[in-house]
């Protein structure tokens, strides 16, 4: 009993101490984070800015962009924002142009935007749903990567981070098309790694498990589904957006200078691969 209490106290102290440590690994760098007004994207944008980066916030709705920018500016962070639906070419173009105008360049691209408008068996899905999910989750990620290259090639330490999912390794029940699109992102990371290595651009991914966000709420909103989701992890709990943000900051930093073509699973020990 005493040993357990001591161990718990040590863990709590360590967590508190580590959260108070301010890293500045990203000083002088500029980042774009798509879909960054809430959830995982917002947490990543906040963490990159806390570590010294100038961050361009983006999302589909202007009100959400303004709210997120104001919140982070109130914390003294260097951020700006713009509306960007990643499926619209003109808005993607404006995203990169505004980043260059406001911050002078680009070092880090975090492709976080993704959708899942359907729940149900894969083979019962309409063709339009397949097109919509793959257009946003896969094609638009590719386009963002391609369109970021003119700026990233001017960076001394460029990095692309793609947010996939543990579902890309082990499909979620009734979320088959979404899961397949996330598997495709794993392939995109591998396929572009060697192509961009000669330019000095690192390409990596993060595969979150079930993280408590609005988008994943269907996976844990009932007591039964919440318990089942927890039981599928070794740590017996769901993740929080901030736990993805730390991994993104690491991959964006020079601490990961010899890492490319990899996808880090952040899932609390969810069964995914050997």
CATH number (domain holding residue 81):
3.40.50.720
Active site residue 178: yes
Domain coverage including residue 80: 30-213+240-266
pLDDT category at 136 given cuts 50, 70, 90 is very high
| 14 within some domain | no
| 159 within some domain | yes
| 1 within some domain | no
> Do residues 48 and 248 lie in contact, with contact meaning Cβ atoms separated by under 8 Å?
yes
| 9 within some domain | no
Which residue do the tokens 């899905």 mark? 125
| 219 within some domain | no
**Residue 217 reports pLDDT greater than 80:** no
Pairing of strands 108-111, 159-163: parallel
Q: What is the mean pLDDT of residues 226-232?
A: 66
What percent of the chain stands above pLDDT 70?
86
Write out the two tokens for 134. Answer: 């793959």
Conformation bin of residue 206: beta by default, left when phi > 0, alpha when psi is -120 to 50: beta
* Residue 229, pLDDT score: 61
| 17 within some domain | no
Residue by residue, DSSP assigns the chain as: -HHHHHHHHHHHHHHHHHHH----TTTT-EEEESS-SSHHHHHHHHHHHHTT-EEEEEES-HHHHHHHHHHHHTTT--EEEEE--TT-HHHHHHHHHHHHHHHSS-SEEEE--------B-GGGS-HHHHHHHHIIIIIHHHHHHHHHHHHHTT-SS-EEEEE--GGGTSPPTTBHHHHHHHHHHHHHHHHHHHHHHTTT-EEEEEEE-SBSSSTTGGGTSSHHHHHHHHHTSTTSS-B-HHHHHHHHHHHHSGGGTT--S-EEEESSS-S---
**Residue 274 reports pLDDT greater than 80:** no
**Residue 164 reports pLDDT greater than 90:** yes
Write out the two tokens for 213. Answer: 């966000």
| Alpha-carbon distances of 47 from 12, 150, 199, rounded to whole Å | 21, 25, 26
pLDDT category at 268 given cuts 50, 70, 90 is confident
Number of domains in the chain: 1
Which of residues 219 and 135 earns the better pLDDT score?
A: 135
Which residue do the tokens 């098309």 mark? 177
* Residue 220, pLDDT score: 62
| 98 within some domain | yes
**Residue 221 reports pLDDT greater than 60:** yes
- pLDDT digit string, tens, across residues 58-117: 999 999 999 999 999 999 999 999 999 999 999 999 999 999 999 999 999 999 999 999
- pLDDT digit string, tens, across residues 11-28: 443 344 345 456 899 999
Q: What is the mean pLDDT of residues 165-172?
A: 92
| 160 within some domain | yes
The span from the CA of 78 to the CA of 55, in Å, is 7
* Residue 43, pLDDT score: 98
* Residue 238, pLDDT score: 84
* Residue 230, pLDDT score: 62
* Residue 173, pLDDT score: 85
**Residue 151 reports pLDDT greater than 50:** yes
pTM value is: 0.89
Residue tagged active-site, from 169, 178, 220, 258:
178
């Amino acid at each position: 009993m005493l040993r357990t209490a001591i161990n718990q106290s040590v863990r709590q102290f360590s967590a508190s101490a580590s959260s108070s440590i301010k890293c500045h690994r990203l000083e002088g760098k500029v980042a774009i984070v798509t879909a960054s007004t809430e959830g995982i994207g917002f947490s990543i944008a906040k963490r990159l800015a806390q570590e010294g980066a100038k961050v361009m916030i983006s999302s589909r709705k202007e009100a959400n962009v303004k709210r997120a920018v104001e919140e982070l500016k109130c914390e003294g962070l260097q951020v700006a924002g713009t509306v960007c639906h990643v499926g619209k070419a003109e808005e993607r173009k404006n995203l990169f142009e505004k980043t260059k105008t406001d911050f002078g360049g680009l070092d880090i691209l975090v492709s976080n935007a993704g959708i899942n408008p359907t729940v149900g068996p894969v083979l019962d899905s309409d063709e339009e749903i397949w097109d919509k999910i793959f257009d946003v989750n896969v094609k638009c990620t590719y386009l963002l990567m391609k369109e970021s290259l003119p700026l990233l090639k001017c960076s001394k330490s460029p990095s692309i981070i793609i947010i996939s999912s543990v579902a890309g390794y082990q499909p979620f029940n009734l979320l088959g098309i979404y899961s397949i699109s996330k598997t495709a992102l794993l392939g995109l990371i591998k396929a572009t790694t060697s192509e961009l290595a000669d330019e000095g651009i690192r390409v990596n991914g993060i595969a979150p498990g079930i993280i408590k966000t609005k988008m994943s709420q269907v996976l844990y909103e009932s007591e039964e589904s919440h318990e089942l989701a927890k039981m599928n992890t070794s740590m017996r709990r769901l993740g929080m957006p901030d736990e993805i943000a730390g991994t993104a900051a690491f991959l964006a930093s020079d601490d990961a200078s010899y890492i490319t073509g990899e996808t880090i699973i952040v899932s609390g020990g969810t069964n995914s691969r050997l």
